[in-house]
Amino acid sequence: MNNYLEALKWKLTKPNYRKLRDIENPKVHEFIAKSSDLCQSKNVFICSDDPKDIAYIRQQAIISGEEKESLKIKGHTVHFDGINDQGRDRKATKYLVPRGISFSTALNQIDRQKGLSEVKGLLMDSMKDRTMIVRFISLGPPNSVFTIHGLQCTDSWYVAHAEDILYRPGYQVFCQAEPNTQFLRVLHSSGKLNKSMTSLEDDNKAIYIDYMDSTIYSVNTQYAGNSVGFKKLAFRLAIRKANYEGWLAEHMMIMGVHGPGGRKTYFSGAFPSACGKTSTAMLPGETILGDDIAYIRDVGSVARAVNVESGIFGIIKDVNPKDDVSIFNVLNNPGEIIFSNILVKNKKPYWLGMGTEIPENGTNFSGEWHKGKQDKDGKEIPPAHKNARYAVALEALDNCDPEIDNPMGVEVSGIMYGGRDAKAYVPVQQSFDWSHGIISYGASLETETTFATIGKEGVPEINIMSIQDFISIPLGENISNNIEFGKRLKKVPIVFGVNYFLKNKEGQYLNSRQDKHVWIKWMELRVHGEAGAIRSPTGFLPKYEDLRKLFDRVLHKEYTKEQYIKQFTIRVPENLAKIQRVQRFYQEKVSDTPSELFEVLDQQCKRLIKAKEKFGNYISPEKFEW
């Protein structure tokens, strides 16, 4: 018996001891023992992914009060985070960086020894009189070239339950693995809790990433983006691993798009939170393979991808029966779902933008709520939070792609990048080549901050490939890795830029929410060379006739030439200003920017200036056809 198992023995029941003993990796025993010793948990529960273990976790989430069975539909529960713990917290999320090493100034970081002292001080004794739950996770399909092992210790039954919905079981994967197998580690504690079972000291939360030890520390928070360690936290470590091994870990959805002749073409797409990623992945008539994180590898000189997860932790705001048919149906039928930070009234869930009238009172993340209720700063509390969520298994969706657990992944034929860009980029365009797309659409991705992140909303910012919040390597190094990855492939995916948020001068959106389905169908045709395109300074644009036919076939609505020209006019001043902002960002904040980035952006700038000299500041797409 090793010393770590011996140290844990008095905290484990005999069945739990046997479950842990069957995993032969001594580093697993060490992490669990040291975590329990630091947090002083009363006992330790080892989840083996047996149905009895899963049922026990769900039951304890309800008994503890972290979840409530206060909803009418069978299998539905609700969880509330604290009033100030409603999104990813950038200020509290820091990389632990060894002395003498510095990341880009765009990344939040702290001296490693100082950070370890801080976060371990907060975690010390945080689990007194509580059970520490141990979950084993398989990131990506098990027994695959994509598989990464994950282990989380937490004192939150809600977190443990959410992980069961969102991830593939990993206990047997750990049991079958070699004793020296590497794995990602997460240690989380909700900290002190109030009567509502929400973190009492969320103003003192810490989410620290120790990349030297492949470990995430999270304390004084319950919001799943901060506490479910294998969402965006361990993703940061996977990005680092991918960079050094020559593959890609990306903030991307994966979907199958149906085309002529019964074919299906797979696309991945990177969008910052609340910018249309999940709604794109769930388009009716297509299939969803993943909505958040993708691993992409070179397999036989072809880009193949898997969904790291097996469930969705989705933003519920604006999910309604018109725009989001698939998920709306799931949310209104029996099945295992955890709602978070919604409003509950008469055992029914309500959220913003659901398409029905919302009651003027009920229970929400602030406790008993009524219309006009204010927080301590005098700000009116909405009935449901804008970042309210649902957790559901992908297999609950009728359009879940059958290849979701294929250990070889699926071939990616197209990659799209999209953000909130009210002024510059057109709704959809195709890059001239891989490097142009990675740089002009990915590395130049500009968006506005949204409610998914704590802080001021609507602030324009560069969000490199929608991954900037999660990156754990120098930013320039990540861009170089992306560029080189595509150059090694014999079959290179086509890169597209999309923008669902373009506005006119009056501030009105030029797209409807349904229009994205047409852009996706056009991309599918372009991948197979079955639709024309117009060469513009920023990329290849769709032709009007192709879009008119697609609008009629896909959405059964008329698409006018006037709409087309408004949407696809190249706005030269706005595009030049965008390039200047991007260049300034890299010059000031990214010391290792590859020279190719500036070269590609300079070429785009010259094309725009040349077009301006010939056609003026605002150029109809029809001008480029001749």
**Do 206 and 217 contact (CB within 8 A), yes or no?**
yes
- For strand 361-364 and strand 367-370, is the pairing parallel, antiparallel, or unpaired? antiparallel
**Do 350 and 360 contact (CB within 8 A), yes or no?**
no
**Radius of gyration, alpha carbons of the chain:** 24
Q: Is the dihedral of CA 469, 472, 478, 479 positive or negative?
A: positive
What does DSSP assign to residue 337?
E
The two three-digit tokens of residue 187, written as one number: 């240690």
Residues near 61 by beta carbon (within 8 Å), at least 6 away in sequence: 67, 77, 79, 157, 158, 160, 161
> What's the distance, Cα to Cα, between the start and end of the chain in Å?
79
Q: How far is CA 133 from CA 55, 137, 499, in A?
A: 14, 13, 42
Residues near 139 by beta carbon (within 8 Å), at least 6 away in sequence: 147, 148, 149, 150, 167, 168, 184, 230, 234, 238, 295, 308, 309
- For strand 389-393 and strand 337-340, is the pairing parallel, antiparallel, or unpaired? antiparallel
Is residue 412 helix, strand or coil? strand
In angstroms, the CA 541 to CA 535 distance is 6
Closest of 486, 494, 489 to residue 301, by C-alpha:
489
* Residue in 39, 275, 400, 605 annotated catalytic: 275
Within 10 A of 363 (CB to CB), how many other CB atoms are there? 17
Locus of tokens 């071939």: 411
**Do 219 and 154 contact (CB within 8 A), yes or no?**
no
In angstroms, the CA 279 to CA 275 distance is 9
Q: Which segments within 126-193 are labelled E, that is strand?
A: 131-139, 148-154, 168-169, 184-189
275 is catalytic: yes
Helices (H), ranges, 167-308: 171-176, 224-227, 232-245, 277-281
In angstroms, the CA 571 to CA 502 distance is 11
Q: Which residues are catalytic?
A: 275
